[in-house]
Amino acid sequence: MVKNTLVISQRFLTFHARRLWVLSGAFLVILLGPLANYYFQINWIQGWYQSLGVGKFWFVSPLEGLESILVAKQLYLPALIAMLAPVLLALLLGSVFCSWVCPISFFSEILDGIRRKISGRKWLKDRLLLSRRLLWYALLGELTLTMILGGPVFVFVSPPGLVGRELMTLIFFHTLALEGVILLLVLGMNLVTRRFYCRYFCPLGATLNLLGSRRKLAVRMDHDRCTACGLCDRRCPLGLSPANGMTASLYCWNCGECVDACQSQALSFQWRSASSEDSPSESVPTSSQKPNIPTETAGFWQ
């Protein structure tokens, strides 16, 4: 059984630890890429998480690719093929790019660690909470602004892309680009609310969330085991409530923190099968009374 294997392997390495390894690896790719290009003229890896070229394999970020098509009104087959892999990943696993790959997540995790050490608290507080629907307005607003200006906005102020650009500028031209201030702002807001930008403003996150609305992999709750201790709710970096079935919502990015936090092993990653209609949200009786549940955003998607 999938569930059993996940629970057993979790004892050796928590999802948090695994995620840190993957995040570090993903960060190393965009750090070592420019270094290899600049000092050794090895062009095997180019770019960062707007478009990454690994040998003959190209990846293009779905939102950037979409903006490019919308504004230029031209289709380019290599770009479409390069968008395929990220889109499929999001369709199957949800917005795992955000939690497992994005360099902003990497910095946020480090920052969270430091914040925990300094404050001495195990749980980090979220001081400023906004409506989660802002995320969709951010995506809509961003696309509208893009169409008005005739130039994609997100592609040059996107924080995940900016990390790569700043690293490349540093290595190639031994200077930093001015727009790096945006990065400081984004990371600075993490001190007020964990993943403030990711929660409410990231258009790329919104795109991936939408793509992953029918994702196959989701955290599922076993109500018989749940002791309602609330540990998972406090652990979730997005401020979602796994105990109330919000891991099935559009906003969950499958980071696995709640699975780590659960002491009674009530939460686990599970594959949703297409045939059985027992999606996690439907198995939760109280979900219709809680805010920010999938039913609320389902209308937006359809």
Partner 1 sequence: MKRREFLKKAGATIGVITALPEITCGKGLLTSPVTTNRLRPPGAVPEEIFAGKCIRCGRCVEVCPYRSIRLLDIRSGIFTGTPIIAAEAIPCYLCMKCVLICPTGTLRKISQEQTRMGLAVVNRHRCYTWQGSIICRTCFDVCPYKGRAIILDELRPIVVNDHCTGCGICTHACPVTAEDGSKAINIEPIYAQETVLWK
Which residues bind to partner 1, rule: CB under 8 A?
A: 33-34, 37-38, 41, 43, 46-48, 50-53, 58, 60-61, 64-65, 67-68, 70-74, 76, 78-79, 82, 149-153, 155-157, 161, 164-165, 168-169, 172-173, 177-179
Q: What minimum distance in Å lies between the beta carbon of 49 and partner 1?
A: 9
The dihedral built from the CA positions of residue 214, 22, 163 and 128, taken in this order, carries a sign that is: positive
Find the shortest distance in angstroms from Cβ 94 to partner 1.
Answer: 23
Q: How far is the CB of 291 from partner 1 (least distance, A)?
A: 23
d(CA 133, CA 210): 12
Report residue 171 as tokens. 């290595």
Which residues sit opposite 220 in a β-bridge?
Answer: 268
Cβ at position 31, least distance to partner 1 in Å: 13
Nearer to partner 1 among residue 11 and residue 73 (C-beta): 73
Smaller CB distance to partner 1: residue 38 or 301?
A: 38
Given a contact cutoff of 8 angstroms between Cβ atoms, the answer to whether 107 and 24 are in contact is: no
Nearer of residues 41 and 302 to partner 1, judged by Cβ: 41
Minimum separation from the CB atom of position 210 to partner 1 (A):
19
Which of residues 50 and 247 has its CB atom nearest to partner 1 in the complex?
Answer: 50
The 10 Å CB-count burial string (b at 16+, else e) for 150-189 is: eebbbbeebbbbbbbbbbbbebeeeeeeeebeebeebbeb
- Buried b / exposed e over 247-280, threshold 16 CB at 10 Å, is bbbbbbbbbbbbbbbbeeebbbbbebeeeeeebb
Nearer to partner 1, 30 or 206 (CB): 30
Q: H helices within 190-246, ranges in order?
A: 196-200, 203-211, 231-235
Nearer to partner 1, 2 or 145 (CB): 145
What is the smallest separation between the CB atom of 138 and partner 1, expressed in angstroms?
Answer: 16
Give the CA count within 13 Å in the CB-facing half-sphere of 182.
18
